[in-house]
């Protein structure tokens, strides 16, 4: 199973938990796309099953998202506004994210993503073990995509804004 972490390698995104989980699951391939203050520390900690891409342009992130089965967003503060997580939803990827900030208000654990406590590598390992089952990955990815289509994709948002402006203008007349 290929697991992607695409974010700045800073404490706010918590790549350390991702690396620690990779050490427990050497049979899986872990990919880190990003750079930042924790890059060297992450490289020192990582095993041979982790590939570091460094900072990459968006087309490379897209390609890696397409080629991964699971996406991890592990911020101890907030996840729901992450462009990488929205991209994972668009690409129907199973997501593991932390249950922090507004994330649980928008996404449902076990429906759109597997949510774990912040900075808990054991919970991440458990979630990744669950996601070894193709059916669960497919279900989560499909549900995340449906959520994306209903609430997050640009044509949907533009249509809702149009309807809102039209309604406001109709009431003003």
What's the pLDDT tens digit per position in 38-60? 999 999 999 999 999 999 999 99
What is the count of structural domains for the chain? 1
pLDDT score at 173? 64
SS3 27: coil
pLDDT score at 159? 81
Structure tokens at 168: 């406001």
What's the pLDDT tens digit per position in 88-111? 999 999 999 999 999 999 999 999
Q: Where are the beta strands (DSSP E) in 26-170?
A: 29-33, 50-54, 70-73, 94-98, 114-116
pTM, to two decimals: 0.92
Order of strands across the sheet that contains 70-73:
50-54, 29-33, 2-6, 70-73, 94-98, 114-116
The alpha carbons of the chain give a radius of gyration, in whole angstroms, of: 17
Structure tokens at 56: 């990459």
SS3 71: strand
Cβ pair 114, 96 in contact under 8 A: yes
Residue-number span of the structural domain to which 18 is assigned: 2-172
Q: Give the whole-angstrom CA distance, residue 1 versus residue 124.
A: 14
Here the CATH number for the domain that contains residue 92 is: 3.40.50.2000
Structure tokens at 125: 């390992």
pLDDT score at 150? 93
């Amino acid at each position: 199973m290929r697991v992607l972490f695409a974010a700045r390698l800073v404490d706010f995104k918590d790549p350390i938990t991702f690396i620690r989980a990779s050490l427990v699951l050497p049979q899986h391939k872990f990919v880190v796309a990003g750079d930042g203050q924790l890059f060297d520390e992450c490289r020192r900690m990582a095993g041979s099953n982790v590939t570091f891409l460094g900072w990459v342009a968006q087309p490379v992130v897209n390609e890696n998202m397409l080629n991964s089965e699971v996406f991890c967003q592990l911020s101890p503060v907030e996840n729901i506004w992450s462009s990488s997580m929205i991209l994972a939803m668009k690409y129907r990827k199973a997501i593991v994210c932390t249950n922090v900030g507004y994330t649980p208000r928008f996404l449902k654990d076990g429906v759109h993503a597997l949510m774990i406590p912040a900075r808990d590598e054991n919970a991440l390992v458990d979630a990744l073990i669950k996601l070894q089952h193709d059916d669960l990955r497919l279900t989560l990815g499909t549900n995340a995509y449906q959520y994306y289509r209903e609430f997050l994709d640009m044509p949907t948002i533009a249509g809702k804004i149009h309807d809102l402006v039209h309604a406001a203008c109709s009431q003003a007349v």
